[in-house]
């Protein structure tokens, strides 16, 4: 492969022997991943400069090559600068929260040994990887600010600026400033291009695509296509899986649930983990209203996984339990989740807690309590959008609105959809979410049918079939077609009944 800035950015700071070895390895390699593997073999089999061992440990961490990472750690266990790169980072919430303190302790030991400024800068940014789910935004950015001070003192360190942009964008997004976050990510992408750093380019593009999910789904999917090509070019299986995972979330946001589930299956193949349960399809099945399937999926995950405090999975389990009317279990699971929410300080997750608590009240029949909780969830989702959280909140607000309307029928009232159902429809159209539009049509047809307006219910669904024939909405199209057949049957029966009365 050609020399890449991802590696040559270290040249101003490292010894000549390490530079020579890196140059030879890049000449011999076919891709970034191939290079990292070759570098690791050399570091494990030969006595090499500490700088090379450090770079191998860091890039193996980026590639998530767990076995090789552990072998490097074992060989260099007495070298302080290697230790910070040992900790897992495969789950934003689980691994970062679990290993944060150990990472900081390992980094502090390196800093106490008078590390060079380039290494210190990179380790502060490693700290940020494990820090950003914890506490408020100022504390989140504390290690980033330390890195910036070092960069200001030594302009050669500006090669790390693209990664700083990625974290600053994350902070903006966490505060709810999604458009500002996109500007920062774009700056990071431009700087990564200047430095020819594909790794930092990947990081900023990924965050950009994830942020766009809640703003412009089609643009987000276009970014994911670009990312997928970059991941294939780098040949890092973890990156390919990560892109498939996040694009699965984008498809889920669009209501293209079949493609979302397919993306998660392909993700597990990319990770080489086809036989390991994946929790994410549980959320998709719950979004489709299939609580039994959702519960089966999340239970398989909990049976396999270590008993770790993974907040979102507890929330998804509570949602699935509520949908199958195991309400006491759902409430106990929500109690577990709530204690973890307090620890995480995540307002967006608090919104999900409100939402799934609302589902419990909805299933219990306390529609006013459910409405209050769904409105709280929507308030947070509107301020801190993640795509799926907005869809969920609007769906259940519309659903409980219909149920309340059914319980207070007024024969003098004109039957029209309520404000939340209208808001759901408009939201799906404005954000170009084809599957969500089709789901909204199913809900609207239920509303019309509950009011005895079968022809309006039928017309709504017939129009919905014209929205999309994508593979992603295969399940929804079948549901709509089945409902159309049911409504046609009801209309025929009504006509026969009318004819009999006329006789």
Q: Which pLDDT does position 242 carry in this prediction?
A: 96
**427 phi, psi to nearest 5 deg:** -60, -45
Query: Does the structure show a pLDDT above 80 at 266?
Result: yes
378 lies in the same domain as 483: yes
Q: Which pLDDT does position 503 carry in this prediction?
A: 62
pLDDT tens track for 281-300: 999 999 999 999 999 999 99
- Here the tokens at position 158 are 């500006």
Query: Does the structure show a pLDDT above 70 at 490?
Result: yes
Q: What angle do CA 210, 165, 347 make, to 5 degrees?
A: 50
**Based on the structure, what is the number of domains in the chain?**
2
339 lies in the same domain as 377: no
In contact, 23 and 16? CB cutoff 8 Å: no
pLDDT tens track for 42-66: 999 999 999 999 999 999 999 999 9
pLDDT tens track for 397-418: 999 999 998 877 665 555 788 9
Q: Which pLDDT does position 199 carry in this prediction?
A: 98
Q: What is the DSSP letter of 307?
A: S
423 lies in the same domain as 325: no
Q: What is the DSSP letter of 116?
A: -
Residue 387 counted as domain residue: yes
**Mean pLDDT, rounded, for 453-459:** 96
Give the count of alpha carbons within 13 A of 435, CB side only.
Answer: 28
Q: What is the pTM of this model?
A: 0.92
pLDDT tens track for 366-380: 999 999 999 999 999
Query: Does the structure show a pLDDT above 80 at 158?
Result: yes
**Mean pLDDT, rounded, for 236-258:** 97
Q: Which pLDDT does position 100 carry in this prediction?
A: 85
Residue 41 counted as domain residue: no
Q: Which pLDDT does position 132 carry in this prediction?
A: 57
* pLDDT band for position 131 (cuts 50, 70, 90): confident
Residue identified by tokens 């030879």 is: 24
Hey, is 324 helix, strand or coil? Answer: coil
pLDDT tens track for 328-361: 999 999 999 998 888 777 788 999 999 999 999 9
Question: What is the distance in angstroms between the CA of the first residue and the CA of the last residue of the chain?
Answer: 86
417 lies in the same domain as 487: yes
Q: Which pLDDT does position 342 carry in this prediction?
A: 82
State what percent of residues in the chain have pLDDT above 70: 94
* pLDDT band for position 420 (cuts 50, 70, 90): very high
Residue 498 counted as domain residue: yes
410 lies in the same domain as 446: yes
In whole angstroms, give the CA distance from residue 488 to residue 494.
Answer: 10
Range of the domain at 497: 373-502
389 lies in the same domain as 339: no
**Mean pLDDT, rounded, for 416-428:** 95
Query: Does the structure show a pLDDT above 70 at 470?
Result: yes
> In whole numbers, what is the pLDDT of the chain averaged over residues?
93
Residue 398 counted as domain residue: yes
**Mean pLDDT, rounded, for 169-185:** 91
Residue 473 counted as domain residue: yes
**Mean pLDDT, rounded, for 237-248:** 97
Query: Does the structure show a pLDDT above 60 at 163?
Result: yes
- Contacts for 335 with CB less than 8 Å, ≥ 6 apart: none
Q: Give the least confident one: 49-53, 89-93, 117-121.
A: 89-93
Residue identified by tokens 């040992």 is: 86
451 lies in the same domain as 404: yes
Query: Does the structure show a pLDDT above 80 at 183?
Result: yes
378 lies in the same domain as 415: yes
* pLDDT band for position 442 (cuts 50, 70, 90): very high
Pick the last residue of a domain from 330, 345, 360.
345
In whole angstroms, give the CA distance from residue 442 to residue 447.
Answer: 9
Give the count of alpha carbons within 13 A of 337, CB side only.
Answer: 25
Q: Which pLDDT does position 366 carry in this prediction?
A: 98
In contact, 55 and 39? CB cutoff 8 Å: yes
* pLDDT band for position 92 (cuts 50, 70, 90): low
Per-residue 3-state assignment (H helix, E strand, C coil) for 366-383: CHHHHHHHHHHHHHHHHH
Residue 298 counted as domain residue: yes
| Crossing angle for the helix pair 419-430 and 388-406, to the nearest 10 degrees | 150
In whole angstroms, give the CA distance from residue 246 to residue 234.
Answer: 18
Which CATH number belongs to the domain containing residue 465 in this structure?
1.25.40
DSSP code string of 68-94: HHHHHHHHTTT-TTTGGGGS--SSTTH
How long is the chain? 503
Contacts of the segment 382-386: beta carbons below 8 A, 24+ positions apart: 383/176, 384/174, 384/176, 384/347, 384/348, 384/351, 385/178, 385/214, 385/215, 386/213, 386/214, 386/348
**Mean pLDDT, rounded, for 389-401:** 97
Residue 288 counted as domain residue: yes
406 lies in the same domain as 453: yes
Query: Does the structure show a pLDDT above 90 at 134?
Result: no
394 lies in the same domain as 327: no
Q: Give the least confident one: 30-34, 289-293, 428-432, 499-503.
A: 499-503
Q: Which pLDDT does position 494 carry in this prediction?
A: 84
379 lies in the same domain as 482: yes
Residue scoring higher pLDDT (304 or 197): 197
Hey, is 158 helix, strand or coil? Answer: helix
492 lies in the same domain as 392: yes
Residue 287 counted as domain residue: yes
In whole angstroms, give the CA distance from residue 159 to residue 151.
Answer: 9
């Amino acid at each position: 492969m050609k020399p890449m800035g991802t590696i040559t950015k270290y040249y101003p700071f490292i010894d000549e022997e390490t530079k020579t070895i890196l140059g030879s390895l890049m000449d011999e390699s076919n891709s970034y991943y191939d290079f990292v593997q070759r570098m690791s073999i050399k570091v494990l089999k030969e006595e090499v400069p500490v700088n090379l061992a450090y770079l191998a440990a860091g890039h193996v961490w980026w590639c998530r090559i767990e076995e090789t990472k552990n072998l490097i750690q074992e060989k260099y266990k007495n070298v302080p600068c290697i230790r910070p790169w040992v900790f897992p980072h495969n789950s934003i919430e689980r691994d970062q929260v679990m290993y944060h303190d150990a990472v900081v302790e390992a980094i502090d030991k390196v800093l106490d040994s008078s590390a060079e400024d380039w290494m210190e800068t990179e380790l502060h940014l490693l700290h940020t990887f494990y820090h950003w789910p914890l506490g408020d935004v100022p504390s989140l950015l504390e290690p980033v600010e330390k890195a910036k001070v070092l960069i200001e003192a030594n302009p050669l360190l500006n090669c790390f600026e693209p990664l700083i942009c990625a974290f600053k964008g994350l902070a903006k997004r966490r505060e709810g400033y999604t458009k500002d976050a996109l500007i920062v990510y774009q700056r990071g992408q431009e700087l990564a291009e200047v430095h020819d750093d594909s790794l930092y380019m990947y990081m900023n593009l990924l965050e950009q695509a994830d942020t766009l999910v809640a703003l412009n789904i089609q643009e987000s999917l276009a970014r994911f296509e670009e990312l997928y090509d970059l991941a294939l070019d780098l040949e890092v299986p973890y990156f390919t899986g990560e892109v498939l995972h996040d694009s699965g979330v984008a498809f889920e946001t669009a209501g293209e649930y079949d493609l979302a589930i397919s993306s998660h299956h392909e993700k597990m193949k990319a990770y080489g983990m086809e036989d390991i349960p994946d929790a994410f399809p549980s959320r998709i099945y719950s979004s489709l209203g299939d609580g039994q399937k959702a519960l089966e999926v999340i239970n398989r995950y909990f049976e396999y996984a270590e008993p770790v405090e993974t907040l979102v999975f507890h929330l998804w389990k509570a949602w699935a339990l509520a949908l199958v009317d195991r309400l006491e279990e759902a409430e106990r699971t929500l109690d577990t989740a709530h204690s973890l929410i307090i620890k995480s300080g995540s307002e967006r997750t608090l919104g999900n807690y409100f939402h799934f608590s609302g589902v419990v009240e909805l299933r219990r029949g306390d529609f006013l309590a459910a409405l209050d909780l769904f409105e709280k969830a929507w308030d947070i989702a509107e301020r801190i959008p993640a795509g799926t959280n907005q869809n969920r909140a609007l769906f259940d607000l519309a659903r409980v609105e219909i149920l309340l309307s059914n319980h207070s029928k007024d024969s003098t009232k004109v039957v029209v959809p309520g404000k939340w159902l209208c808001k759901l429809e408009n939201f799906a159209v404005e954000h170009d979410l084809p599957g969500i539009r089709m789901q909204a049509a199913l809900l609207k047809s239920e509303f019309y049918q509950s009011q005895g307006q079968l022809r309006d219910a039928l017309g709504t669904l017939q129009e919905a079939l014209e929205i999309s024939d994508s593979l992603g909405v295969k399940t929804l199209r079948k549901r709509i077609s089945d409902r159309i057949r049911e409504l046609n049957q009801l209309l025929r029966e009504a006509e026969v009944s009318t004819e009999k009365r006329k006789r």
